[in-house]
Amino acid sequence: MNHTSISDFRSRIGDYLGNLSNAPVVLERHGKPAAVVLSYAEYQRLQDLEDVWWGERAQAALESGLVGHDEAMQHLKGKLDAAS
């Protein structure tokens, strides 16, 4: 991972963007990390991983006995009907 100041990044943006396939760039402000610039392919890979993670969490929740949207709506409707 490359580290650089924001001002250096601004002045050499073309160089940094051209090398994003090799490694993300950590942008520093006053010597501290402020942001990360990464390639679109790496961003998409991370998004795909997050989608898989949330999908697995949702599946585990359903398997543990939580109800889905339709069942929850039917339950709530029954409660509302009983209250009126």
How are strands ordered across the β-sheet holding 2-5? Answer: 2-5, 25-29, 32-37
Residue 63's domain comprises 41-83
34 shares a domain with 7? yes
Residue 38: pLDDT band (50, 70, 90) is: very high
For residue range 9-25, what is the model confidence (pLDDT) as tens digits?
Answer: 999 999 999 999 999 99
Structural domain count of the chain: 2
The pair of structure tokens assigned to 75 is 């339950």
Is the Cβ–Cβ distance between 6 and 30 less than 8 Å? Answer: no
CATH number of the domain at 30, please.
Answer: 3.40.1620.10
76 shares a domain with 53? yes
23 shares a domain with 50? no
pLDDT at 51 over 90: yes
